[in-house]
Amino acid sequence: MTKVSSFDWSQLDRQTIFDIVYTLHDKIVNKTLTVEQLHGSVIRRLKNYFPIKAKKGLDTHVQKSWVYVGGAYYSDYDKDRETSIEVGLYFNPTDTHITMTPRRFSRFCISIADTLLHEIIHMRQYRRRSFKILPGYESTASRAKKRKEQEYLGDKDEIDAYSFNIACELTERFNGSQHHIINYLNASQKGFMPKYNSWRMYLQAFGHDHTHPVLRRVKKRVVHYLPKATQGKPFRSFEWVTR
C-alpha cells in the first residue's frame, strides 16, 4: 500500500488512472461476481497504487446491475497529513451479483479516473489557501431540496472541479473540437433527453437558464480547462499536490 506521506498526486492523469483500473478487465468483464467480490477487487487495486480511503454503499437510486462511483476529500485529514481522499462504490440494495460488459467496465474505469481527479483538484484548492474554508453559494430556490443541490453545485470549489470533469467528458465526446464543445455548452437542451453528463447536471439544477451566474461561470471554466482536458491533467504546476 502506498503511503500518503510520500505520494506524488501530480503524477496522475486521466489515462494513467484509467489504465490502472483497466488491468482488472480479465477478472471482471463478463464475469458474474458478488457485490463483495467486485468491490474488493477494485478497492484492492486502487489501494495498491493510491493512498485512499474506501467506502461501499447501498443506494436505491443506483440503477440495477450498475455500480456508481463517488468521492470525497477531507481537508482536516489532509492538514494533518493523513489519508484524505475517499473513493466510494455504490450498489443497488437488491443486487447480489454484478456482470459488467466491456463497455460498462470501460465507463466504470473512466468514472473512477474522473472522481479521483475531481478530489485531487479539491486537495490542491485547500492546500493553496492553507486549508481556509471559503464562503459558500447561497441559493434562492424556493424548495429545500433544490436549494441544497444548487448550493452544492454553485460552490466555487465545486464549479472548478466539475468544470474540469465536464471539459474531459466533452473533449472525449467531440474529439477535442472546441467549436463543437462551445456549441454544445450554449445549446438549450431543455425538453431533450441527450446523454446525461456533468453539464446536464448543472443545467437541470439551474433550470436551463444560461444567463444564470453559476452556469455562466461553469462555461467559462470549462473553456479554460479544455487544453488541460486534452492532456487529462487539471494543472501544469506540480506545486500544492506534491509534498
Residues 99 and 153 in one domain: no
Residues 107 and 156 in one domain: no
Amino acid letter at 8?
A: D
| Average pLDDT for 44-59 | 97
Residues 23 and 100 in one domain: yes
Residues 95 and 175 in one domain: no
- Looking at the predicted structure, is the pLDDT value of residue 43 above 70? yes
Residues 149 and 113 in one domain: no
- Looking at the predicted structure, is the pLDDT value of residue 10 above 90? no
Q: Does a structural domain hold residue 95?
A: yes
Q: Does a structural domain hold residue 85?
A: yes
**Total domains in the fold of the chain:** 2
- Looking at the predicted structure, is the pLDDT value of residue 1 above 60? no
pLDDT at 240: 62
pLDDT at 235: 85
| Average pLDDT for 39-68 | 96
Q: Does a structural domain hold residue 30?
A: yes
Tens digits of residue pLDDT in 209-222? 999 999 999 999 99
Rounded alpha-carbon distances, angstroms, from residue 73 to 88, 103, 229:
11, 28, 21
Which pTM was predicted?
0.94
Cell of 56: 461501499
- Looking at the predicted structure, is the pLDDT value of residue 193 above 70? no
| Average pLDDT for 43-49 | 97
Q: What is the mean pLDDT of the chain?
A: 93
Q: Does a structural domain hold residue 173?
A: yes
Q: Which residue, among 199, 197, 196, has the nearest Cα to 219 in the 3D structure?
A: 199
Q: Does a structural domain hold residue 5?
A: no
How far apart CA 204 and CA 150 sit, in angstroms, is 10
Cell of 189: 437542451
Domain hosting residue 82, numbered range:
10-119
The runs of H, that is alpha helices, within 129-177 are 144-153, 156-173
How far apart CA 33 and CA 98 sit, in angstroms, is 5
- If one compares 7 and 34, the residue with the highest pLDDT of the two is 34
How far apart CA 228 and CA 225 sit, in angstroms, is 5
pLDDT grade for 24, boundaries at 50, 70 and 90: very high
How far apart CA 10 and CA 236 sit, in angstroms, is 9
- Looking at the predicted structure, is the pLDDT value of residue 232 above 70? yes
Determine the length of the chain: 243
pLDDT grade for 188, boundaries at 50, 70 and 90: confident
pLDDT at 189: 83
Tens digits of residue pLDDT in 104-156? 999 999 999 999 999 999 999 999 999 999 999 999 999 999 999 999 999 99
- Looking at the predicted structure, is the pLDDT value of residue 243 above 60? no
